Amino acid sequence: MPALASHRKPRPRVRSTTPAIGFTTAALASVTLLSTQSALAAPAPKPSIEDVQKKVDGLYRQAGTATQHYDQAKEASAKQRAKVDMLLDDIAKRADKLNDARRTLGNYAAAQYRDGALAPTATFFLANDPQSFFDQTHLMNRMAANQQQAVTDFRTKQAEASKKRAEAVTSLETLTESQTRLRTSKQHVQDKLAEARTLLSKLTAEEKARLAELEQKRKDEARLKAAELAKKQAAAKAEADRKAKEAESATGAGTGTGTGTGTGSGSGSDSSATTKAEKVLAFARAQIGKPYVWGATGPSSYDCSGLTQAAWKAAGVTLPRTTWDQVEVGTRIATADLRPGDLVFFYDDISHVGIYKGDGMMIHAPKPGANVREESIYYMPIYGSVRPG
């Protein structure tokens, strides 16, 4: 007899999930560990003193550029303010004239209302005689012409006053724009200087000493280059003097029949330029030790272009306010041909300027926190040079 099949259902096999739980826990633990390691990772390396020096120099340069923008906006704002004030004065005068014209018209209108007006026929019949009629008519015609002229004058003055008021509105809008640029430039300067101060304040005493060493090294290298330029200029001058003496000797060895009527205008021109340069340098030397203050034009402090402007003003020459405008004044000069009093400009954006004093040195107002001083022209990258006057 065959065996009967079992009616019990097979029991489902349950797979254990313990290994999966263990794997997930391990994965989470690994992520946590990695996160902890990331959090505990070493901070970004501290910048080197050389990097700090470059950063600070860059900030001061940006502040110098912003200072020139500030000077430019300040000058534009002052000019626009003067124009607005002039327009407002003109409007006030025109208002007085307009009121006078209005009163004249009012007098004519009052007189016409008070006296009334008769038709020409009635006037003829009421006149004592024909001659009186014609005399009276002639007088009335003249009065009418005067009234018409008064109306024309009033309308003209009214139109002129309206035009000036429109000009004043436009000028005030321009003034507002200039003042906005002025505030923006001022804030930019302050931000860059604050950033530089913050960066320097984080240095240790040892780091500050190292920074000072780097600064001194930079100055020494610039002075060596200045000395080289001084030697070249001295050699060039000696050669020029030698050739001049040879030319003078050759002229003296001639027949001697010359009348000596030369005007010597070249010598006089050189003498005048030398006199101006002496005045410029005398003024600049007198400012040494005074602080650099951005936007300042003296007499107690200066920014770079404020000093050059004031120095050349002492020699009777008016220079524009900013470095960007000063570089366009006068004759462009090669570095090898510099003479005392010439202006030397720096950086590609022409954001700094100094006064050449000879021997590769200049007098300039360097930067915030520093005083007017003598320095090698090679302390900064040279853009170009100009001889004003």
- Say whether 352 is catalytic: yes
**Residue type for 110, please?**
A
CA-wise closest residue to 24 among 32, 14, 34: 32
Distance between CA atoms of 61 and 58, rounded to whole angstroms?
Answer: 5
Residue 191 has which token pair? 């931000």
Sheet holding 382-387, edge to edge: 331-333, 382-387, 343-346, 352-358, 361-364, 373-376
Distance between CA atoms of 161 and 350, rounded to whole angstroms?
Answer: 44
Place of tokens 């010597």: 264
Total length of the chain: 389
- Say whether 188 is catalytic: no
Angle between helix axes 205-252 and 49-115 (nearest 10 degrees) is: 80
Long-range contact set of residues 305-308: C-beta below 8 Å, sequence gap at least 24: 305/68, 305/71, 305/353, 306/71, 306/365, 307/355, 307/363, 307/364, 307/365, 307/372, 308/343, 308/353, 308/354, 308/355
Peptide bond into 299 cis (omega under 30): yes
Distance between CA atoms of 320 and 74, rounded to whole angstroms?
Answer: 13
- Say whether 138 is catalytic: no
Q: Which of 7, 69, 138, 304 is catalytic?
A: 304
Q: Are 67 and 288 in contact (CB under 8 A)?
A: no
How far apart are the two ends of the chain, measured CA to CA in Å?
A: 136
**183 by DSSP, 3-state: which?**
helix
287, burial (CB in 10 Å: exposed 0-12, middle 13-18, buried 19+): buried
CB contact set of 203 (below 8 Å; sequence gap of 6+): 49, 52, 211
Q: Which of 7, 69, 138, 352 is catalytic?
A: 352
**47 by DSSP, 3-state: which?**
coil
Alpha carbon 200 to chain centroid, angstroms = 27
Residues belonging to the active site: 304, 352, 364
